[in-house]
Structure 1
Amino acid sequence: MAPKPGAEWSTALSHLVLGVVSLHAAVSTAQASRGAAAGFLLQVLAATIMLAPGLSTHEDCLAGAWVATVIGLPLLAFDFHWVNGDRSSANLLLGGGMVLAVAGGHLSPEGRSVAGQAMLLVVAVTILIVAVFTANTYGMWGGTLLGVAGLLSRLEEDRLLLLPKEDICRWALAAGSWAYCRALHTQRLQWE
């Protein structure tokens, strides 16, 4: 089935917005949280690679985007947990992401997809839990939007709201990343 006209623009725009939001978040959080900034930078790299013509289907680039998911997302959540004194969850998330990144070569594409979606949902839920207990509204929005991106990616539908499902997921991920960046800023202000 041929892609609908405009689908390429929708995909390129969603990658571009995710990359720009993630780059802004990386720059904004670099002084306060190097771990979160590195996680945002991994999202920027994955979005940029997928924008390059011909690379979005290259196996190494797809594996790089998957590694950015399983390492970048736990890096985002790491500081949120660490600052709130939940060092075991912070280390567990990051360690789990590292194990998944190393084991990725032994997983099928379907297995990598499920592992990436599971990591996204685990990070979203843990951010949401910490945000609720610390009354961090931006964290609640960020965790919710990251969770929505993870849940939407599991749907069987190819299109949602007249757009490809992956584009909607990237839009939700971009909105969640922006909210999460604000949550980190709010969290730092509370602890200072």
Structure 2
Amino acid sequence: MDLNLIVSRVLLCAVCLFSTVRTYQVHRAAAAGFLIHGVGSAYLLCVSSLTAEDGFRNLSTWSAIVTSVPLLAFAFFWLSGDQSTANMLLSAGILGAAALDSLNQEGRFMVSICIMAAASLSILVLSIFTGNWHGVLGSIALGTVALFKAERITIFHKEVASNYGLTAAFLAFDLALRSQQWDYV
């Protein structure tokens, strides 16, 4: 396994678990989203024989991909008082996770990209309206990761770049949720 890939997964796991601890008192759904993604990246780190494509076949990594980001979006909208949008985004993640058996490899890939893009765009719009600039930066980073995963660029290792982008996005979301909590509570 490549050293850059190991470092990117360790950093992503550490940031997710650190953000879990920091956001636990802010909103439990956000902490759960960080925890799910942290455990999923730790699982991929421990099982070095999996490649990026094989990770979609495993239920734990699939759940980490399609439920962690909607849980974060759920927390953003719940804290802002929009419970219907929060529930809609969370329902999309749960339906995506439930569709594991009925989708092929390409379908799983597209569902994960669509769920990440929808959550990212919704957090972006909410963050712009509330003036939460950490949320804007996190949404842009997450949207870039979703776009980057959808493209077939081979200049550098796609999973390493995605892990670093997710690390930056999750760290920004952690700061955004903590600042949004002080604005609305």
Shorter-normalised TM-score: what interval?
over 0.9
Matches of 1:185 and 1:143, distance apart in 2: 15
Amino acid at match of 1:8: D
Please identify runs of 4+ aligned residues in structure 1 that moved more than 2 A: 53-63
Alignment of structure 1 residues 141-180 onto 2, 5 Å: 141-159=137-155, 163-180=156-173
The answer as to 2:41 corresponding to 1:47 is: yes
- The answer to whether the 8 A contact 1:125-1:143 is kept is yes
SS in 1 for 2:58: helix
Match of 1:181 in 2: 174
Matches of 2:111 and 2:87, distance apart in 1: 18
Amino acid at match of 2:158: K
SS in 2 for 1:107: coil
Change (3 A) 1:106 1:61: closer
Per-residue deviation, 1:56: 2.3
The one-character-per-residue Cα deviations of 1:169-188 (angstroms, maximum 9, x if unpaired) are: 11011100000000000001
Amino acid at match of 2:183: Q
Structure 1 portions without partners, runs of 5+:
1-6
Tell me how large the CA RMSD over aligned residues is: 1.6
Per-residue deviation, 1:111: 0.6
Structure 2 portions without partners, runs of 5+:
none
**Based on CA coordinates, which of the two structures has the bigger radius of gyration?**
1
Match of 1:4 in 2: none
Matches of 1:78 and 1:14, distance apart in 2: 26
Alignment of structure 1 residues 2-151 onto 2, 5 Å: 8-57=2-51, 62-151=58-147
- The answer to whether the 8 A contact 2:66-2:97 is kept is yes
Matches of 2:35 and 2:22, distance apart in 1: 11
Instruction: Quote the sequence identity (%).
Output: 32
Relative to the length of structure 2, the TM-score reads: 0.93
Matches of 1:89 and 1:55, distance apart in 2: 39
The one-character-per-residue Cα deviations of 1:33-76 (angstroms, maximum 9, x if unpaired) are: 11000000011111101111445256687332111111111111
| Paired positions, count | 183
Relative to the length of structure 1, the TM-score reads: 0.90
SS in 1 for 2:26: coil
Greater Cα shift, 53-62 or 169-178: 53-62
